[in-house]
């Protein structure tokens, strides 16, 4: 009998990892992932962090299990090879070029967008290596208002979208997100949607928390309301427990259902 679930995609902060817990990733979840990997299941950490930030946090968490893939800044893919994570090509190069061309089209509007935010809100607006417009709002209410403004602007620029996570946001290309990156990994591995599980807690996880991307969906108790609603609407699992404890419960519950679906009547 084939594995009921062959690919697991987990967000990092607030889903797998909790800064306020010691250890930040529950041992029960580590044990579960390790057991599944030994059985042949592939695991990807799918995060908005960049590679260096993610690697540092993984090191500080003393994870003894290593993801088979990493998705960073919601779009770049890295594959575990020996003692390093190598960029997945041509995906990463094409992703970079696509964003370079997109951001060139918005460059002339950036001063106006910066000014609109700075004149109205106590927020930090800046550029980094991944977006010419990045935001840290003072609170979620401000972030909501700024996101609405940026979304209106984005509709005037083909393929431009706003990626949001809590009070953080940035511009990105609509074709590259946690969901499309997960689908690309599955395509490379030859894994069908019905064998994929995705788990997340915030706005930027929504593109992968879709039955078009993963048959099995999980959210911890700390997930924001729209994520919990999205997962429940698609008959996914919303845990009573937070962060990694909830993800462990959710994976176990989905495995039981998946195994039952494979068992002959």
pLDDT by residue, tens only, the chain of 265 residues: 478 999 999 999 999 999 999 999 999 999 999 999 999 999 999 999 999 999 999 999 999 999 999 999 999 999 999 889 999 999 999 999 999 999 999 999 999 999 999 999 999 999 999 999 999 999 999 999 999 999 999 999 999 999 999 999 999 999 999 999 999 999 999 999 999 999 999 999 999 999 999 999 999 999 999 999 999 999 999 999 999 999 999 999 999 998 888 766 5
Predicted local confidence at residue 145, as pLDDT? 98
Distance CA 42, CA 69 (A): 8
Burial bucket for residue 124 (CB in 10 Å: 0-12, 13-18, 19+): middle
pTM: 0.95
If you ran DSSP here, which 8-state letter would residue 135 be given?
E
Beta strands in the chain (DSSP E): 7-10, 42-46, 69-72, 76-81, 84-87, 124-126, 134-136, 160-165, 168-173, 196-199, 216-219, 237-238
Q: Give me the residue spans of the domains in the chain.
A: 7-74+177-262, 93-173
The pLDDT value given to residue 192:
97
Assigned architecture for domain 7-74+177-262 = 3-Layer(aba) Sandwich (3.40)
């Amino acid at each position: 009998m084939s594995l009921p679930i062959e690919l697991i995609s987990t967000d990092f902060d607030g889903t797998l990892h909790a800064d306020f817990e010691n250890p930040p990733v529950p041992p029960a979840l580590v044990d579960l992932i390790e057991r599944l990997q030994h059985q042949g299941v592939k695991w990807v950490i799918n995060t908005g962090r960049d590679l260096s930030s993610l690697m540092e946090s993984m090191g500080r968490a003393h994870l003894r299990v290593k993801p088979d893939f990493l998705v960073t800044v919601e779009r770049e893919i890295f594959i575990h090879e020996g003692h390093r994570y190598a960029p997945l090509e041509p995906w990463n190069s094409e992703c970079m070029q696509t964003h370079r061309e997109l951001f060139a089209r918005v460059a002339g509007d950036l001063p106006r967008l910066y000014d609109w935010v700075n004149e109205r809100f106590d927020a930090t607006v800046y550029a980094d290596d991944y977006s010419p417009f990045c935001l840290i709002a003072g609170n979620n209410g401000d972030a909501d208002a700024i996101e609405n403004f940026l979304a209106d602007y984005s509709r005037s620029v083909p393929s431009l979208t706003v990626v949001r996570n809590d009070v953080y946001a940035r511009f990105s290309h609509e074709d590259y997100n946690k969901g499309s990156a997960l689908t690309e990994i599955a395509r490379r591995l030859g894994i069908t949607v019905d064998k994929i599980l995705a788990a997340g807690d915030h706005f930027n996880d929504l593109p992968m928390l879709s039955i078009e991307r993963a048959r099995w969906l999980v959210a911890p108790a700390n997930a924001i309301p729209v994520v919990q609603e999205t997962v429940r609407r698609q008959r996914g699992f919303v845990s009573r427990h937070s962060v990694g404890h909830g993800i462990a419960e959710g994976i176990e519950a989905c495995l039981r259902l998946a195994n039952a679906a494979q068992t002959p009547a």
